Structure formats: C-alpha cells, structure tokens
Amino acid sequence: MVTTWPTFTEAIYLLGQAAGWPGQQALWRLIQRNALTIAELDPKLMLRSAELMERYRDHPMDLADATLVAVAEALDQRTIFTLDEHFRTYRLRSRRYLKIVP
C-alpha cells in the first residue's frame, strides 16, 4: 500500500482519537513491515494536489485527499482505501472514478 505524509498524519491523529497509542502503533508497524510506503511528493505532485483542491473547492477535499488522488494518478492506480465517502465524487485526470475500498 502507498500513502502520503499528509494522509499518514491525518490517520495518526484519527487513530489517536479513536484508539490511543495502540491504534497509532499499529499504523507505525505497517511502515516497519514495509506493508505501507509513504510516497514522495515532488513539486509536480504538490502542484497537482493544489490543482485538485482548486477543482474540488466546493467539495470537502483537503490536502490529504488531494495528495492521494495525485499519487493515484501518478502511479496509474484507481483503487483507494478510505473511509471517506466523498472520495466517490473525485475523478482522476483520465476522468475515471476511483474504486473505493472497503
């Protein structure tokens, strides 16, 4: 699985609220086991994230969401693991919708 630092930061916060350190530790263990990789956000991906946030300014797209969509485009991936329902409204540059898991 691949994520971004903004998304990882948001997940750590939410897990802390919901489950405390044990929840956060479980996420860190994914990194330690190489089951989760944090993608580099080069300038091109950062600019694409800003474009996406502008495009979806009337929707609830935050930085974490935008970076996930930008990385999905860069990796030519359509499948996103998220609990956020609003991802169903986002589209890739190819105009295709994302496939949401679970």
The CATH number of whichever domain residue 32 belongs to comes to 3.40.50.1010
Which pLDDT band, with edges at 50, 70 and 90, does 47 fall under? very high
Q: Tell me what pLDDT residue 102 has.
A: 86
> What average pLDDT does range 52-71 have in this prediction?
95
Give alpha helix (H) positions in the chain: 5-32, 43-55, 63-74
> The pTM is what?
0.92
Q: Is the pLDDT of residue 50 over 90?
A: yes
Domain that holds residue 58: 2-101
* Domain count within the chain: 1
**Contact status, residue 81 vs residue 102, Cβ threshold 8 Å:** yes
- Token output for 93: 């540059």
